[in-house]
Amino acid sequence: MTGFDERLGDMRQDGEIQTLEDFVAYGPVRRGPELVIREVAAHLGLTDPQWLRPLPPVNRQAIDLARRGDTTGLLGLVRSGVGVDAADHQGYSLLWSATVNGRVDTALALISAGADVSRRFRYGTEVLHAAVTGGHVRLVAAICAAGVAVDAVEDVRGDTALSLAVRSPNACPMAQLLIAAGADVDRRRRDGRTALVLAVRSGDIELAGLLLTSGADPNLVDADGSSALHMAAESSRTSAYRLLLEAGANPAQCNRWRSTP
C-alpha cells in the first residue's frame, strides 16, 4: 500500500486532486473496495464523494425499476412521492437509467410524467445522446418533441446528437429526425469533423447522401484541413468520392500536408 499511498500524496500535493471525485479515474482507486476508498479519502483529508453516501432506499428501488423497465412499479413510486428526476449517486436520473438500458417504454412514460429531458450528466452527456447512440428512434422522436436543444454538445469530443447518429444502429432514420428538429448539419466536433465527414469515413453512403441533400457543405474541413473528399480517397470509398464530386466537392483542396484528394 506504501507506493500507492505515496502516489496519492504526491498527486494531492501537486494539486492534481482536490476531492476524491478528481481521483476516481486512477485505476486502483476506481477498482478498490469501498472500505479502501474511504480509508484513502480519510488519509488525504478528502470528503466522501457523493457516490459513496447511501441512497434513500426508495430512490435505490426506483433506479432499479428504471433499469429493469418495470414501468408500472416505477410510476407507482413516482405517484407516491419519489421525484420523477430522482438520481443515483453520480447524478444519473431515472430517465437516463431507463434509456441506457434500452427500456424505451419506461423512458417514454417518464417523459410523459414530466422527466427533465435536457438534464446534463457527467461529461456533458444528455439523454438525447444516449438515445441516439442506442438507436432508439421512438425515444429520440419523443425527446425532440419535448423541446430539447438538438445541437447540445457533450464534453469529450464535442459530439452533437447528429454526429453520434453516424454510429447509431439506425443512422438514417435518426439523422432524419434530428435534422427535422433543427439539427445543424454542418456543426463541427472539436476535431473539426462534421457528420458528413464522419459518415463518409464510416462508409455510410446513404447517410452521406441524406446529409448532402439536407444542405451539408462538402468542402468543410477538419482540424487537419481534410475534407470529406480526403476521407473518401484515404478510405477508398469510391461511391462516396463520386457522390461528393457530384455535390460540388473540390478535388483540388489541400490539407495541412498539402495533399489533395
- For residue 250, the model assigns a pLDDT of 97
Question: CB 248: neighbour CB atoms within 10 A?
Answer: 10
Q: Are residues 199 and 247 in the same domain?
A: yes
> How many structural domains is the chain composed of?
4
Question: CB 27: neighbour CB atoms within 10 A?
Answer: 8
Q: Are residues 218 and 253 in the same domain?
A: yes
- For residue 30, the model assigns a pLDDT of 44
Domain end (from 159, 184, 209): 184
Q: Are residues 200 and 177 in the same domain?
A: no
- For residue 145, the model assigns a pLDDT of 96
Domain end (from 138, 155, 184): 184
Q: Are residues 131 and 97 in the same domain?
A: no
- For residue 26, the model assigns a pLDDT of 45
Q: Which CATH number covers residue 246?
A: 1.25.40.20
**Per-residue tens of pLDDT for the chain, all 261 residues:** 444 455 555 544 554 444 554 554 444 444 445 556 666 666 666 555 555 566 788 889 999 999 999 999 999 999 999 999 999 877 899 999 999 999 999 999 999 999 999 999 888 899 999 999 999 999 999 999 999 999 999 888 899 999 999 999 999 999 999 999 999 999 999 999 999 999 999 999 999 999 999 999 999 999 999 999 999 999 999 999 999 999 999 999 999 999 999
Half-sphere exposure of 37 (CA within 13 A, CB side): 23
| pLDDT tens track for 145-181 | 999 999 999 888 899 999 999 999 999 999 999 999 9
- Give me 100's grid cell: 441506457
Q: Are residues 31 and 61 in the same domain?
A: no
Q: Are residues 173 and 213 in the same domain?
A: no
What is the C-alpha to C-alpha distance for residues 232 and 228, in angstroms, rounded to an integer? Answer: 6
Dihedral pair phi/psi, residue 212, rounded to 5°: -65, -45
Q: Are residues 253 and 231 in the same domain?
A: yes
- For residue 56, the model assigns a pLDDT of 83
- Give me 76's grid cell: 407507482
Q: Are residues 254 and 194 in the same domain?
A: yes
Q: Are residues 89 and 150 in the same domain?
A: no
Q: Which domain holds residue 101?
A: 56-116
Say which residues have a Cβ less than 8 Å from residue 232's Cβ, sequence separation at least 6: 200, 238, 240, 241, 244, 261
Q: Are residues 201 and 252 in the same domain?
A: yes
C-beta of residue 211 within 8 angstroms of C-beta of residue 246 = no
C-beta of residue 67 within 8 angstroms of C-beta of residue 53 = no
